[in-house]
Amino acid sequence: MEPIVRFKDVRKSFGTLEVLKGVTLDIMPGTVTALIGRSGSGKSTALRCINALEQINGGELHVCGRALHNGGFDLRALRQDVGIVFQSYNLFPHLTVAQNIMLAPRRVKKIGKDEARALAEEVLSQVGLLEKADNYPEQLSGGQQQRVAIARSLAMKPKLMLFDEVTSALDPELTGEVLKVIEKLAESGMTMVLVTHEMNFAERVADQIAFMHHGTVWELGSGEMLRAPKTPELQQFVGSGL
């Protein structure tokens, strides 16, 4: 089986600042990969490179059969295959929950209104919010809005889902409800890459954890590695409770 994502010595700079300094990492279909590390270690940049929100400066990056390092790939098709959910929910306040979800399938995939509504209801059921379909975002809690953002990505039927610190703006109770949704997606076989500070969650759900440090994958392994770090850097990171 081929990796769905393959980083090979990937480099990325912003001006004179090199943020990714030779990242090598394979992500297999049907697995969950957690990227952990201190702020500035390159984890969010690596995630954003996967759906070409950032262009890499060196190395090779293959995503869903496309060579992103060569240019000339179909960006629109890539973003249909790769969904991303951010810390901020980015819901349109003037649209209902269902309308927010229906927007991309109707515009990008050109599906009809009735089919789009059925799709919206299907993905809202997945995240446990079917009864909120006709509510507006302001009527929802932060955790519910984040679950709608996840449903909106699911509506495009992606092959791969990316989560960038999706719980960092939420209190512990709301964090728990969002993580439950992600855990259910993992059980359903969805391929996911998540940047997270939730160490217990990463240990429980991720098939592999990549500890990023100084722009590289410093240590890679299963959840076990958080209990028995091989490097002083990971030991210090885990010990600091970050």
Domain ranges of the chain: 5-239
Q: Judge contact between 146 and 167, C-beta under 8 A.
A: yes
Antiparallel, parallel or unpaired: β 5-14 and 58-63: antiparallel
How does pLDDT run across 54-91, given as a tens digit for each residue?
999 999 999 999 999 987 889 999 999 999 999 888 89
Place of tokens 């992606």: 158
Please state the φ and ψ torsions of residue 174, each to the nearest 5 degrees: -70, -35
**Which residue, among 53, 45, 90, has the nearest Cα to 195 in the 3D structure?**
45
- Bridge partners of 170, per DSSP, are none
What is the reported pTM?
0.93
Averaged pLDDT, 136-142: 95
Q: Which residue type sits at 179?
A: L
pLDDT on residue 242: 47
pLDDT on residue 27: 97
Dihedral angle over CA of 224, 189, 216, 196, nearest 10: -80
Q: What kind of fold does domain 5-239 have according to CATH?
A: Rossmann fold (3.40.50)
How far, in Å, CA of 222 to CA of 105, rounded? 36
> How many residues belong to the chain?
242
pLDDT on residue 203: 93
- Bridge partners of 6, per DSSP, are 26, 62
Q: Judge contact between 65 and 159, C-beta under 8 A.
A: no
